[in-house]
């Protein structure tokens, strides 16, 4: 298939691998921000093509994983109400709250439905005027435009029974928080190509200057990832720290301007709590006051809920790149995809799930 096979070509992979080994003189820790990249790294055994001096660290770029426990419990409480049809993407159904998950609530009789687009939820609202339809709006900048569009569409159609439970987070503040932590050991970042397709990459340039770390925008196939690693190692060995875009077939400097305009009209930047990490200032989106009637937290009066994470789960350390999944005492015994203690074990982009499936 065009633009797939070319980026999985073993000869190209081996050529890039050879170049990386030739130029690597020092030890470097490189963080891939995106959970999709983490799964590709483990699925294709990318680490086996790298010299021992390079260690890949898995970052917090799994939107399901960083959705805080409180937000899951809010979803569960809303979904349990008799007059509600709760809609969500499939990867949120098994994410554990403090006691249950959405599958459990559904099994108890709640009307929980998996959809493939937030606009599907808008259609459900049209077809069920006597029900309250709530969509669980989770994700990074990649999925936020579609959720913004659903609110705009519901507003245009004057649907009073549609709302979204928002848990949107942003990548640049997370990178800033990681590099500001005294525990960090990250020397460079591979930035997620799909996020930059929407937002462009100008917002990463100040981070390279502030923290003196290279940031390379790359894709998700083996050749993309290895090319990104090569670019970061060249910079690290030369003592430079710049932004590079090697995913130019998808990412432009300015990003998707119409999508950004839609986001700015619908959402505003706010502080946001990340599961296992805590609150990162100005790291998320919330609906603007103009669209308060579509804010599920306000409609159901669930804005102030506090929860404690499992004492056995080290998801926060994994998401910050401080620990590897297998360093958790619960990994693959007390915590499995069938009985997860934390979101990284159940999400399709979670680092713990990747290790369980590919390196158990």
- Report pLDDT digits (tens) over 280-304: 999 999 999 999 999 999 999 987 7
Q: What is the mean pLDDT of the chain?
A: 94
Q: Is 102 exposed, middle or buried (0-12, 13-18, 19+ CB in 10 A)?
A: buried
Q: Looking at the predicted structure, is the pLDDT value of residue 16 above 70?
A: yes
Going from N- to C-terminal start, the domains of the chain cover 65-170+256-299
Q: Looking at the predicted structure, is the pLDDT value of residue 357 above 70?
A: yes
| pLDDT recorded at residue 17 | 98
* Residues 266-277, mean pLDDT to the nearest whole number: 92
Q: Looking at the predicted structure, is the pLDDT value of residue 1 above 50?
A: no
* Residues 181-197, mean pLDDT to the nearest whole number: 95
Q: Looking at the predicted structure, is the pLDDT value of residue 54 above 50?
A: yes
Q: Looking at the predicted structure, is the pLDDT value of residue 218 above 90?
A: yes
Query: Are residues 86 and 134 in contact, defined by beta-carbon separation less than 8 angstroms?
Result: yes
* Residues 204-222, mean pLDDT to the nearest whole number: 97
The residue count for the chain: 360
- Of residues 128 and 323, more confidence is placed in 128
* Residues 69-86, mean pLDDT to the nearest whole number: 95
| pLDDT digits 0-9 by tens, 304-313 | 777 777 677 8
Q: Give me 124's structure tokens.
A: 């459900």
Going 261 to 267 to 271 to 273, the CA torsion angle's sign is: negative
Q: CA–CA separation, 93 vs 106, rounded Å?
A: 9
**Of 40-44, 68-72, 110-114, the least confident:** 68-72
65-170+256-299 sits in which CATH class?
A: alpha beta
Relative orientation angle of helices 222-238 and 10-23, to the nearest 10 degrees = 10
* Residues 163-170, mean pLDDT to the nearest whole number: 96
* Residues 187-208, mean pLDDT to the nearest whole number: 97
* Residues 243-265, mean pLDDT to the nearest whole number: 96
Contacts of 48 (CB under 8 A, 6+ apart): none
| pLDDT recorded at residue 4 | 79
Q: Looking at the predicted structure, is the pLDDT value of residue 3 above 80?
A: no
Alpha carbon dihedral 28, 281, 72, 349, in 10-degree steps, equals -20
The whole model's pTM is what?
A: 0.92
pLDDT above 70 covers what percent of the chain?
Answer: 98
pLDDT above 90 covers what percent of the chain?
Answer: 83
Q: Looking at the predicted structure, is the pLDDT value of residue 2 above 70?
A: no
Indicate the pLDDT class of residue 255, thresholds 50, 70 and 90: very high
């Amino acid at each position: 298939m065009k633009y797939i096979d070319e980026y999985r070509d073993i000869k190209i992979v081996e050529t890039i691998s050879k170049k990386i080994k030739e130029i690597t003189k020092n030890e470097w820790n490189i963080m891939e921000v995106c959970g999709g990249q983490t799964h590709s790294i483990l699925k294709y055994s990318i680490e086996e093509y790298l010299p021992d001096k390079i260690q890949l660290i898995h970052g917090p770029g799994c939107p399901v994983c960083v959705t805080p426990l409180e937000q899951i419990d809010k979803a569960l409480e809303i979904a349990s109400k008799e007059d509600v049809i709760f809609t969500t993407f499939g990867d949120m159904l098994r994410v554990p709250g403090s006691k249950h998950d959405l599958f459990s609530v559904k099994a108890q009789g709640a009307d929980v439905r998996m959809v493939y687009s937030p606009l599907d939820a808008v259609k459900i609202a049209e077809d069920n005027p006597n029900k309250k339809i709530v969509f669980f709006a989770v994700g990074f900048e990649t999925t936020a435009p579609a959720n913004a569009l659903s609110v705009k569409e519901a507003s245009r159609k004057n649907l009073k029974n549609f709302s979204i439970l928002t848990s949107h987070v942003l990548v640049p503040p997370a990178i800033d928080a990681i590099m500001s932590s005294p525990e960090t050991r990250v020397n460079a970042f591979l930035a997620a190509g799909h996020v930059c397709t929407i937002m462009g990459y100008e917002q990463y340039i100040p981070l390279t200057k502030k923290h003196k770390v290279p940031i390379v925008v790359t894709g998700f196939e083996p050749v993309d990832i290895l090319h990104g690693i090569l670019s970061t190692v060249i910079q690290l060995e030369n003592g430079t720290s710049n932004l590079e875009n090697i995913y130019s077939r998808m990412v432009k400097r300015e990003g998707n301007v119409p999508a950004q305009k839609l986001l700015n009209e619908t959402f505003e930047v706010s502080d946001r709590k990340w599961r296992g990490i805590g609150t990162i200032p100005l790291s998320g989106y919330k609906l603007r006051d103009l669209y308060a009637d579509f804010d599920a937290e306000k409609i159901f009066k669930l804005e102030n809920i506090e929860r404690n994470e499992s004492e056995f789960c080290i998801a926060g350390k994994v998401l910050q790149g401080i620990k590897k999944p297998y360093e958790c005492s619960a990994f693959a015994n007390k915590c499995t995809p069938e009985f997860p203690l934390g979101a990284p074990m159940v999400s399709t982009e979670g680092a713990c799930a990747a290790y369980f499936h590919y390196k158990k």
